[in-house]
Amino acid sequence: MTDTSGLLQEMNNRSREVFRRVVEGYLANGEPVGSRTLTRDFSEKVSAATIRNVMQDLEYLGLLDSPHVSAGRIPTQLGLRMFVDGLLEVGNPDDNDRAQMDATMGRNADDVTATLDRLGTALSGVTHGASLVLAPKHEAPIKHIEFVSLSQDRALAVLVFSDGHVENRLFVPPVGQTPSSMREAANFLNSLVEGKTLSELQRTIKTEMSRRRQEIDVLAAELVESGLVIWESGEGHSERLIVRGRANLLTTSGESQDLEKVRSLFDDLERKRDIADFLELAEDGDGVRIFIGSENKLFSLSGSSLVVSPYMNSDRKIIGAVGVIGPTRLNYGRIVPIVNYTAQLVGKLISDRS
């Protein structure tokens, strides 16, 4: 992300107020903001011509843009980043927003998946964006791993956890797998389990695969690596990335080019290939993070903004994330606190169960 703090410090009060009002006006109604609009309730008595000169300077700095000739200005991605980092005021969640999220926690709280689904639906309704909830992996220690061939192009990875939980994950095995290579791959993995959780085992596997590659058959090594892929993506029995409120994105996109971006975003969300990266976005920072437009490496083609916050278990370990995705014209001041609050609710739900 670009560091805009120095740029903001160099601006005088008038430039800072013009910039702030343009961004706030754009975020409120999605329309370019003109100089005459700004003069009506500006803190000092200035002419529209003076305001226009300031706006031109801000445009020169790359903070504002004029979408049409003789129209007002809108913030650029750099401008939005500077506003979010230096001028955005974030308070507590709105009482109504908080009440809607709290209401999802009362029914069948023992069913974590159903509760996360309700939270995602409520979050998309409150924010008018698409909500993303990354459910936690099963974090009990693994007891045993087995690979089962179903056909030439289908296999099953069976994970048995120490608490009796069993997960079966279908995947396409590498070409040429044999019963003996599957046994060798399973034996290799079981030799590393030693009471590790799935997350801990994944880190161990990557290290041991590079260190002991000569000890394991090529086919077995390919099978282990393909197993790593399905475990990281979370494909299989339970849906890890819960996406709700896609239709909200369509209502915010009036122009055909915007609709194309939304379709691109839908494709990204349907593939769900980047679950590990989504969690990585949240793990890289403390608390809520905001990614604007192309800063968002997962959905950059759609030019969307992502507000994301991790949640933790009772050991203060990050195990999942909650987010909202929508157009760059998000109401960040309202969405940031509700995403943060929702992440806290999920963290409490998981901690209470453990």
Q: Which pLDDT value is given to residue 89?
A: 87
Q: What is the CA radius of gyration of the chain?
A: 25
The number of folded domains in the chain is 3
Assess whether 131 and 148 both reside in one domain: no
Assess whether 131 and 158 both reside in one domain: no
Among 204, 233, 262, the domain boundary falls at 233
Assess whether 30 and 149 both reside in one domain: no
Q: Which pLDDT value is given to residue 219?
A: 76
Assess whether 130 and 146 both reside in one domain: no
**CATH code, 129:** 3.30.450.40
Assess whether 159 and 128 both reside in one domain: no
Assess whether 197 and 327 both reside in one domain: no
Among 218, 233, 248, the domain boundary falls at 233
Assess whether 129 and 161 both reside in one domain: no
Assess whether 164 and 288 both reside in one domain: no
Q: Which pLDDT value is given to residue 238?
A: 46
- Name residues whose C-beta falls within 8 Å of residue 128's C-beta, 6 or more positions apart in sequence: 245, 248, 251, 252, 326
Q: Which pLDDT value is given to residue 109?
A: 57
Among 59, 87, 115, the domain boundary falls at 87
Comparing C-alpha atoms, which of 256, 181, 265, 266 is closest to residue 216? 181
Per-residue pLDDT of 208-219, as tens digits, reads: 877 776 667 777
Q: Which pLDDT value is given to residue 236?
A: 43
**CATH code, 188:** 3.30.390
Assess whether 66 and 193 both reside in one domain: no
pTM above 0.75, yes or no: no
Assess whether 256 and 311 both reside in one domain: yes
Query: Which structural domain range is residue 40 located in?
Result: 3-87
Assess whether 215 and 129 both reside in one domain: no
Q: Which pLDDT value is given to residue 237?
A: 39
Q: Which pLDDT value is given to residue 107?
A: 64
**CATH code, 39:** 1.10.10.10
Per-residue pLDDT of 215-254, as tens digits, reads: 677 777 787 777 665 565 544 434 577 888 888 877 665 5
Assess whether 325 and 199 both reside in one domain: no
d(CA 132, CA 120): 7
Q: Which residues of the chain have pLDDT under 70?
A: 1-3, 69-70, 107-110, 137-139, 213-215, 227-239, 251-259, 261, 264, 266-286, 297-302, 354
